[in-house]
Amino acid sequence: MGMYTGIRCKVKLKSEFVNSIQKLIDTENWSSLGHDLFEEYSLYPSASSIPFGSLAYMDMWKREVEMKEWKNRIEDGVWIFQCSLKDYDHTISHFFKNILTVIVEETYCIEVLYEEYHVSTFYKIVDKQLLKLEDPETEFNPYLRW
């Protein structure tokens, strides 16, 4: 059957990508964004699951407050979403490496939770590189509640 991996993101987009990501939210179609970067990503297996995959087996993320707080949207240039998918083809790492590292200006939260685990892994983007946070609670983050 396979396990699900959940991802949550709150990231400040570079201004040149805000309209494209808003169009993505409106159309739910990566290939309609008119940019080679997104067109290439749209061909990757399960690409449409990010950010549109429903939450499966992410019980701690399904509370009503959490669902509203993490609804797929852009607020003041900050893209907020949560989703889950079966990550057989490493779609999540491909998305992080080839999309997020290009379009993100500032990281507020990049969280990954594997279905069987009870502790999330957190990341940030620095100089177009995805870095795992060793102690996320020590990172100042105005968008993330602990």
Reported as a single tens digit per residue, the pLDDT across 103-131 is 999 999 999 998 888 788 999 999 999 99
Pair of tokens at residue 3: 């396990």
pLDDT in tens, 53-103: 888 777 666 665 566 788 899 999 999 999 999 999 999 999 999 999 999
The answer to whether 143 touches 10, Cβ cutoff 8 Å, is: yes
pLDDT at 20 over 70: yes
pTM reported for the whole predicted model: 0.88
Containing H/E element for 36?
helix 36-42
| Confidence check: pLDDT of 37 > 80 | yes
Residues β-bridged to residue 10: 80, 109
d(CA 53, CA 91): 12
What are the tokens at 23? 């169009």
Strand ranges, E, within 1-146:
5-13, 73-75, 78-85, 104-114, 121-126, 129-132
The pLDDT of residue 135 is: 76
pLDDT-based confidence at 141, cuts 50/70/90? low
pLDDT band at 145 (very low <50, low <70, confident <90, very high): very low
3-state secondary structure of 64: helix
Task: Please report, for the chain, the start and end positions of each structural domain, with discontinuous segments joined by +.
Answer: 5-138
Is the pLDDT at 138 greater than 70? The verdict is no
